[in-house]
Amino acid sequence: MYKRLNELNFVIGLFFTVVSLILLIDNFFAKGSPGNLNLYTGLTFLIFGLFMIAIKTNRNAE
């Protein structure tokens, strides 16, 4: 995993995954958030983050 830190898509994916977790945990504890905006955004960020992490790039190219 440490080597994958050299891949920008992995770093971006990791960032959005952690942000999504913050949003989802906040949504869980802060009941009554208007329109569950944190929930939907958190799930979208999670999908995007995991997608970016899953992409394999040619390390030599980067």
Please report, as ranges, the residues that interact with another protein according to CB under 8 A.
5-6, 8, 11-12, 14-16, 18-19, 22-23, 25-27, 30, 33-35, 37-38, 40-42, 44-45, 48, 57, 61-62
- CB of 53 vs another protein, minimal distance in Å: 13
Please, which residue, 6 or 56, has the CB nearer to another protein? 6
Euclidean distance between CA atoms 7 and 5, whole angstroms: 5
Please, which residue, 56 or 62, has the CB nearer to another protein? 62
Q: Are 38 and 27 in contact (CB under 8 A)?
A: yes
Euclidean distance between CA atoms 39 and 29, whole angstroms: 11
Q: Are 16 and 52 in contact (CB under 8 A)?
A: yes
